[in-house]
Amino acid sequence: MNMQSYSHTLLTELGNIVGPSWVISDEDLSRWEQDWNQRARGKAFAVVLPASTDELASVVKFCAQAGMPIVPQGGNTGLVLGATPDDSGGQVIVSTSRMKRILEIDVENMTASVQAGCVLQELQEAVQNAGLLFPLSLGAQGSCTIGGNLATNAGGTQVIRYGNMRELCLGVECVLANGEIWNGMRALRKDNTGYNLTQLLIGSEGTLGIITAATLKLFPLPSVQHTAWAALSDLDKALDLLQLAHRHLGPSLTGFEVMGREAVRLVVKHMPSLPVPFAPACEDAWHAMIDCSAYGSASGSGAVFEHFLEQAVEKEYINDVVVATNEQQRAQLWHIRESIPMAQAQEGLNIKHDISVPVSSIPKFVETAHDAIARAVPGARFVTFGHLGDGNLHYNVQAPEGEDAISFRHTFEKQVNQIVYQAIQQFDGSFSAEHGIGSLKAEQLLKTKSDTEVAIMRSIKDALDPLGILNPGKVILPG
Ligand SMILES: Cc1cc2nc3c(=O)[nH]c(=O)nc-3n(C[C@H](O)[C@H](O)[C@H](O)COP(=O)(O)OP(=O)(O)OC[C@H]3O[C@@H](n4cnc5c(N)ncnc54)[C@H](O)[C@@H]3O)c2cc1C
């Protein structure tokens, strides 16, 4: 059989499983092949869109028999090329976008069961309508899926109170590399019966199995939320402010974000209609957003929040502050914060890092990395923002004003990465706090982890995917 008719046979067989119109190969595949950051575009053999776990399992079984590698994909908003195929034209993208049903919201057990392709925001809204909260919250929530959130162990803006996706999941259903279905959809808060396979799959970025559904934890819906945006002189003050917030707000502190001056300026520049606090000057070096969720009367928690801010002003931790007085203003402040990734994308590609260090080391880390980069690349702009409460910063280095972003990245990426990785090591941090490894950081993983850790990871991969067909080239590279 020649190559063309072999391809045709494969496509026909896949079409027999999911229906011919759900195997896409002869039209523009860019929305699946191109990553969100426009960093790389692969070339897929086809995109296959199963409608159910059984169909997805049959697709995997067929691909395993044909020796055809699979790239699982949800909303394709990942930032480390985890859902991007290579450029061989030989990999199949398996998209979960048709598997998006909310299967059950169990109000009494405070759990939700959903299919993997459910869009995060749709789940948040449905849960809220049932009077509860699903707390995962991030800028891509209108497009990213629960399967992708689990596969990357997504974090976002409320980790300080509710934890990462890992903490929010009780069980998953998944399709293994041989097409077998494993149903671990247990809605139990306590279950010490051997190795926790759900936790193994979370954060595995589609390399150990394809998650098809999950049971997630829900929380009481806060009756009131208070949000403030403050201007600060430096990160040491931001750290003082964080400590003060912990002391005054306790577990009602649900978000603590920081944004460097350049990050805020880019929003002002590219989204001029947004009412950015303290614009247009943006003279303050740092901005912070503090979010507090409370139960009971608004006046009680409002007084506590106000007292916390008064103390912050009195102690000179902050230079200025605005407080949202209604839900619309609150949403607007969060919208401004969540517009930073889009604003920097509009400014042009930059050199990205998603670092974490112990919270107390953040100011020293930033000082160390800034100084070294400013010496090596004069004029570079620092687009730094992120989740200070979790010790996690998006530490991005942008071309000097007016310089071509692509050639800047090309010329300086290696050098800047080296400086940042060195600083991470100096402060015992991580080079990927919440975005994962994908193919973008797979080499770095090998450089950072001990031989023992790499060997354990490889044996887990070999045990669950002996043929190496699940997302090859991602997370853990073969020896
Ligand atoms: C504007 C913006 C803001 C963001 N903010 C944050 C943030 O605050 N915090 C944060 O943690 N992340 C953030 N991200 C990145 C984040 O990882 C993704 O938004 C999200 O978690 C990925 O979901 P997805 O459905 O788009 O997955 P995709 O991009 O489709 O896939 C991501 C990875 O998961 C795998 N995968 C997808 N679905 C499955 C499945 N069902 N089973 C197994 N593997 C699967 C893919 O193969 C790939 O390796 C942001 C991204 C953007 C664009």
Residue 43 is predicted with a pLDDT of 97
Q: In angstroms, what is the span from residue 217 Cα to ligand 1's centroid?
A: 19
Question: Nearest C-alpha to atom 21 of ligand 1 is from which residue?
Answer: 149
Report pLDDT for 183. 98
Note the pLDDT tens digit of each residue in 348-398: 989 999 999 999 999 999 999 999 999 999 999 999 999 999 999 999 999
pLDDT of residue 312: 98
Distance CA 45, CA 66 (A): 13
Q: How confident is the model at residue 7 (pLDDT cuts 50, 70, 90)?
A: very high
Tokens of 193: 């019966």
Q: State the pLDDT confidence band at 308, using cuts at 50, 70 and 90.
A: very high
- Between the CA of 120 and the centroid of ligand 1 the distance, in Å, is 11
For residue 428, the model assigns a pLDDT of 97
Whole-number Å distance, alpha carbon 358 to ligand 1 midpoint, is 24
In this predicted structure, the answer to whether residue 65 has a pLDDT above a threshold of 70 is yes
Q: What's the whole-number mean pLDDT along residues 141-170?
A: 97
* pTM of the predicted structure, to 2 decimals: 0.96
| Nearest atom in ligand 1 to 174's CA | 42
Confidence (pLDDT) at 1: 63
Residues of the chain with pLDDT > 90, as a percent, come to: 95
Residue 203 Cβ contacting ligand 1 at under 6 Å: no
Which pLDDT value is given to residue 252? Answer: 96
What's the whole-number mean pLDDT along residues 197-201? Answer: 98
For a ligand 1 pocket test, name from 31, 152, 153, 176 the mutation site with the most ligand atoms within 8 angstroms of its C-beta.
152
Q: Mean pLDDT in the chain?
A: 96
pLDDT at 278: 87
In angstroms, what is the span from residue 338 Cα to ligand 1's centroid? 16
- For residue 279, pLDDT beyond 80: no
pLDDT digits (tens, 9 = 90+) for 209-262: 999 999 999 999 999 999 999 999 999 999 999 999 999 999 999 999 999 999
Nearest protein Cα to ligand 1, atom 37: 148
pLDDT tens readout for residues 30-63:
999 999 999 999 999 999 999 999 999 999 999 9
Average confidence (pLDDT) over 176-204: 97
CB neighbour class for 468 (10 Å; exposed up to 12, middle 13-18, buried from 19): middle
Pocket test for ligand 1, best of 33, 47, 73 (most atoms within 8 A of CB): 73
User: Measured between alpha carbons, how far is 305 from 249 in angstroms, rounded to an integer?
Assistant: 7
pLDDT grade for 6, boundaries at 50, 70 and 90? confident
For residue 3, pLDDT over 90 is answered with no
pLDDT at 414 over 70: yes
Residue 84: what pLDDT?
Answer: 98
Whole-number Å distance between alpha carbons of 430 and 421: 9
